[in-house]
Amino acid sequence: MRVGVVGLGMGLYLATWCRRLGMEVVAACDRDPARRAEAAVHLSSAAVFEDWRVLLEYDLDGVVLANDFDEHAPLAVAFLDRGIHVLSESAACADERQAIALLEAERRSAATYSFAENYVFHPHVRLLRKAVEAREIGRVTLVEADYLHAMSPDDVSGLIGDPNHWRGRIEPTAYCTHTLSPILALTGELPTEVTAFPVDTTDSRSAVVMVVRLSGGGLAVTRHGFLQGEPDSHWSWVSVRGTEGLAESVRAPGARAWSVRVRKEGWTTGDGVTRDEQRAPAAVTLPDGSLVEPKAEGTVRILEGFRACVERGALPLVPVGPAVAASLVGVVGARSLRSGSCPVPMPNLSV
Ligand SMILES: NC(=O)c1ccc[n+]([C@@H]2O[C@H](COP(=O)([O-])OP(=O)(O)OC[C@H]3O[C@@H](n4cnc5c(N)ncnc54)[C@H](O)[C@@H]3O)[C@@H](O)[C@H]2O)c1
């Protein structure tokens, strides 16, 4: 499988994993010469360009989009229209117009669109999905999900203080796909309404809480941004309450953060005994026997899923519908913030 990569920060990490998993990275691009020089060292067999449009003319099976967060949709549309399979980092789109353009491009293309949402396949989220899909906790009613970084004030302003960088220009609600995508995968539902709150009105850019109504009637509460007490499971913590019990990430330091607790209430079990247990994820190894770090498992799965789309005609692991829905929660959440935290309905995007 011949792969091209656009954007060589996270893109270089993804390209390195593509190669480890047996894909051929034949072309890459970045407008930053320093990033191109670094990539030339690590991706010695790839041609490295400044302009992403060169990759449209390249003989590629698939492209990985890891350029700026709020600029993925136009590139995804262009590659889909060339019949090149797309694996796109978040966000899938930056507004409704882009969302519609992307949905239409995916529909008319012979190629597939996959969202590079590794958080859906992190070890703790996979354990939670297994419990939910086995109906161990009944029907899901309340999901909470955190994506939180504990950083010093100086480090936060170093990361988001430059309005010329995408991290500085995006809305504080925008980077929500690492919470919303696991929620949509766990429930199989769609968001219908979003209410967003700044955590601290004296520092309203640093962290937000969103309350999201789901199409099945339940509620999701997401917290993201910069708050102390970050989870050691790659900054992600997820809790799922159902009509018969609870499944949630263990709040513990270190490797135990990847484990989950599943509780089934005694009144639901037939014998009256409450079951409450912790489950640790099994280790994942590659065919060559090497161990995959827990925080890389999601990346490995999305890249293997992308390869299956291209080589075997498999369906995308995270397809365009939930990718667009998760991304638009951030857009609609920003409107809610601007309106003083009024509930804002999600757009109806029937294309
Ligand atoms: N899923 C994850 O765990 C994860 C982790 C980190 C980043 N990301 C995502 O990856 C994307 C990139 O993040 P990053 O941290 O690498 O950001 P970054 O700003 O460090 O890197 C982006 C790179 O893309 C290049 N670029 C942007 N537009 C370009 C264009 N039109 N043509 C050529 N090059 C272009 C920039 O020069 C830059 O080097 C973002 O969408 C981010 O959300 C995801």
- Note the pTM of the prediction, 2 decimals: 0.97
DSSP for 252-284, please give it: -SGGGGG-EEEEE-GGGSSS---EEEEEPPPPE
- Rounded Cα gap, residues 99 and 330, in angstroms: 13
Residue 30's φ and ψ, nearest 5 degrees, are -160, 145
Question: CA torsion, points 17, 20, 23, 26, in degrees to nearest 10?
Answer: 70
DSSP for 116-131, please give it: --GGGGSHHHHHHHHH
Hey, whose CA ends up nearest to atom 19 of ligand 1?
68
Give the domain ranges of the chain: 2-118+297-319, 120-291+328-338
| Percent of the chain with pLDDT strictly greater than 90 | 98
**pLDDT band at 349, cuts 50/70/90?**
confident
Cα 305 to chain centroid distance, Å, stands at 14
Task: Assess whether the C-beta atom of 191 lies below 6 angstroms from ligand 1.
Answer: no
Which of 16, 30, 42 for a ligand 1 pocket mutation test, highest count of atoms within 8 Å of Cβ?
30
What pLDDT does residue 351 have?
66
Written as six digits, the tokens of 259 are 């484990």
Is the domain covering 2-118+297-319 a CATH 3.30.450.20 domain? no
Buried b / exposed e along 87-107 (16+ C-beta atoms within 10 A): bbbbbbbbebebbbbbbebbe
Task: Assess whether the C-beta atom of 89 lies below 6 angstroms from ligand 1.
Answer: yes
Structure confidence by residue, pLDDT tens digits, 18-60: 999 999 999 999 999 999 999 999 998 999 999 999 999 999 9
Task: Assess whether the C-beta atom of 330 lies below 6 angstroms from ligand 1.
Answer: no
| Percent of the chain with pLDDT strictly greater than 70 | 100
Structure confidence by residue, pLDDT tens digits, 299-332: 999 999 999 999 999 999 999 999 999 999 999 9
Average pLDDT of the segment spanning 114-123: 98
Structural contact between residues 5 and 25, judged by C-beta atoms closer than 8 angstroms: yes
Structural contact between residues 44 and 66, judged by C-beta atoms closer than 8 angstroms: no
Sequence-distant (≥ 6) Cβ neighbours of residue 241 within 8 angstroms? 137, 140, 141, 142, 143
Task: Assess whether the C-beta atom of 7 lies below 6 angstroms from ligand 1.
Answer: yes
Buried b / exposed e along 205-244 (16+ C-beta atoms within 10 A): bbbbbbbbbbeeebebbbbbbbbeebbbbbbbbbbbbbeb
Structure confidence by residue, pLDDT tens digits, 259-269: 999 999 999 99
Omega within 30 of 0 (cis) for the link into 91:
yes
Sign of CA pseudo-dihedral 151, 170, 188, 88: negative
The closest alpha carbon to 19, from 303, 263, 261, belongs to: 303
When the candidates are 3.30.360.10, 3.30.1360.120, 3.50.90.10, 3.90.380.10, the CATH number that belongs to 120-291+328-338 is 3.30.360.10
- Rounded Cα gap, residues 137 and 275, in angstroms: 11
90 alpha carbon – ligand 1 mean position (Å) = 9
Task: Assess whether the C-beta atom of 118 lies below 6 angstroms from ligand 1.
Answer: yes
